[in-house]
Chains A and B, each alone.
Chain A
C-alpha cells in the first residue's frame, strides 16, 4: 500500500545541509497498525509529512497505492491526500471558529461531496467517536480528549485507506490517551491502515508493528525491542 525506497529529505540553508531522512526504506501493508518511535529530531515528523504528502522529498521513490507520489503536481497531491489519507495531529488542529460538525465537514467539502452525503457521514463519524450529541459545540467547549476524538472523526469522515497519526495522545492525560488509543485500535480492526508516530513506549508496544527512526533511517528494530524489554524488566525488578 505504501512503499518508500531510498527516500531522502535534505533541508538546505545557506550554511547548513540537514539530512532529515536518508535512504529511508519502508513498506506498509494494507490493514497494518504501525507505531513509529525515535528520539527527538530523528526524522519521525519528516517521515510523517512525506508519507502524508505534506512536504516534498529530495530523492528516492514513494508509491502510495501504486501512485508515484514524486511525479504528482501540487493539486494532484492535495486531491490524493484528501481521498486516501486521514490525519490526526498532536495539537488536534481543529478550526476554532467552526463547530464540531463543520470541522468534520472540512475535508468532505474539499472533496466536493454533496450536502446530504456529508451529513450522513459526519453524523456517523461523530457517533463513532461518541460525540454526536455535541455536534453544535465549538472545539474550545470540549476537553482535550474529546477534541482529539473530533479530530479522529474528521480523519475518518473521508473514509481514508490510510490514517497518519502524529503523537495523537501527546497532549492528553493517561486516561484520555488510553481512550484515544482504544479508538484507533478499533478503527484499525475495522480495516484502516494506521501509521502512528509516538514518543510513548507503552502506546508503541500496543501497536502490532513498531519501527524506530534514528538519524533519519529505520533502526535495527530487533535490537530496539530487546533493549525495550530489558528496560521494562529493570523497571519492574527495580
Chain B
C-alpha cells in the first residue's frame, strides 16, 4: 500500500519544504547532467589517441647565435649525431612540434591562386624523410619522402613539390577517397600528395580540424628550430638528461631550451581543460552531497516534526515497514517532480551551451543517467531517517510531547 494519493495531497497542503527540495533536486539534475556530459566530452578529448607513442618522444628548441657555421650543414650534422645516440630511435628537425599548441597552418587549395576554388585548412610540419619514423607513425598508402625530395635551404623561393597528408585531410579535400597522387596548391605553388597517414594530430588538439595535417619535405635553415627525438621505450628520461650537453658539444654557439616530453607538452597545452575537468568534478560532488544532505536533513526534520503523527499511524496499525515506505514514497514523489523539472532544465541548459559556447549537443543518456543517480542518491539519503522514524514507539501517540 503506497498511499500515493494522500501523500500527494499532504504535500500540496504543506509544500514549502517539498518545493525547496524539489528545486534543489532539479538544479542538481540540470547542472550535474550537463557537467557530466562536459566532463565526458573533455575526458574523451584528453584521452584521445593522437597516433604518437607520446611516452617515447620529446622535443627541444635550438636558438643558434653563432655565425661561423652554415646552418644547413650544422642541422644535418646534428641529425646524424642525434640518430646515432644510444637509446635514440630517430630524430628530425622541424618547424613545429605536434600537440605543443604552437605551429603553422594554412589553407591548401584545390586550384592554384588566384583561380577560385575550394581550399582545406591544415596544420603543416616541415621536416625530412625521418619525420614519420621519429613520430612513430606509419603510412597506410603511398610512399615516404625520398632523400632527394627534401629541400634544406634558406632560399624562400625553393619549395617542395610533394607532401604527405593525413587521411582526414585527404578525404576532406577529395571526398571520393582518392587523394593519393592528387595535386594541391599553397597559393599558386603546386604539390602532390605522395603518401597518406591514417592517424596523426597537428599542433593544436583544440583546433576544429586537429586531424588535418600535412608534412612537407622541407627544412628551412633558420636560427630558431625545433628537434623531435624518439627513443627506445624507457630510454627517454636518460636521453633527455644528456641531450643539452650533447648538442652543445656538437656546436656551442647556441642555446638549447624547452627540452620537454611530448606527453608533458600536451599536458601543459591541456592544463586549462584538466583544471576545468577537476573543477566540474568537484562541483558535481559538492552539489550531489549538498542535495543528499538536504534530503537527509529535511527528512530528519520532518520526522521530528511528525513524531506524534508517526506514533499515531503506528497506533492505528502501521507496521514499521509502512512508516519506512511512507517516507520513501514521499521522497520519491518529490524527487520525481524535481527530476522532471531538472531534466527539462538540463535539456534547455544544454541547448544554451550548444548555442553560446559551441559545446557538443547534450546526449540524452547523460540526462537519464544523472536522473537515475539522483533518484538512487535520494533513496539512499532517506533510508536512514526513515528507519529511524520506524523506530518511534506507537505509545508516543498517548504521551504529551
Contact = CB atoms under 8 A, between A and B. Distances in A.
A78 B9 contact: no
Interface string B310-321: 001111111111
A199 interface: no
B156 interface: no
B149 to A, nearest CB: 85
B118 interface: no
B308 to A, nearest CB: 6
A97 B313 CA distance: 13
A121 interface: no
Contact of B6 (A54, A55, A81, A98): A98
B36 to A, nearest CB: 36
Most buried by B among A74, A99, A102, A110: A110
Nearest to B10: A97
A55 B395 contact: yes
A99 B315 contact: no
A54 B394 contact: yes
B399 interface: yes
Given A97-B13, A109-B3, A74 B398 contact: no
A45 B309 CA distance: 18
B315 A52 contact: yes
Contacts of A96: 14, 309
A158 B309 CA distance: 19
Interface in B267-321: 308-309, 312-321
B395 A54 contact: yes
Interface string B156-182: 000000000000000000000000000
B1 interface: yes
Given A97-B14, A98-B6, A49 B398 contact: yes
A79 B319 CA distance: 8
B351 interface: no
Contacts of B319: 74-75, 78-79, 110
A112 B394 CA distance: 20
B320 A74 contact: yes
Contacts of A112: 1
B341 to A, nearest CB: 22
A52 B395 CA distance: 9
Given A54-B397, A78-B317, A97-B10, A89 B1 contact: no
B312 to A, nearest CB: 4
A55 B392 CA distance: 11
A95 B62 CA distance: 83
B314 A102 contact: no
A233 B319 CA distance: 50
Most buried by A among B309, B314, B315, B318: B315
A95 B395 CA distance: 16
A62 interface: no
Interface residues of A, number: 36
Contacts of A93: 308-309, 312, 315, 397
Nearest to B322: A110
A52 B399 CA distance: 14
B397 to A, nearest CB: 6
Interface string B367-401: 00000000000000000000000000111011110
Given A78-B317, A98-B9, A49 B309 contact: no
A107 B316 contact: yes
A91 B308 CA distance: 10
A136 B197 CA distance: 77
Contacts of A45: 398-399
Interface string B1-22: 1010010011101100000000
Given A45-B399, A99-B9, A54 B393 contact: yes
Nearest to B6: A102
Interface string A25-49: 0000000000000000000010011
B317 A81 contact: yes
Nearest to B309: A95
Nearest to A115: B5
Contacts of A55: 393-395
Contacts of A82: 316-317
B165 to A, nearest CB: 72
Contact of A98 (B1, B10, B400): B10
A149 interface: no
16 contacts: A52-B315, A54-B397, A54-B398, A55-B393, A74-B319, A75-B320, A78-B319, A81-B316, A87-B397, A96-B14, A98-B9, A98-B10, A102-B9, A107-B316, A107-B317, A111-B317
Given A45-B399, A110-B319, 20 more contacts: A45-B398, A49-B398, A52-B315, A54-B315, A54-B398, A75-B321, A78-B314, A78-B318, A78-B394, A83-B317, A89-B397, A93-B308, A95-B313, A97-B10, A97-B14, A98-B6, A107-B317, A110-B318, A112-B1, A166-B398
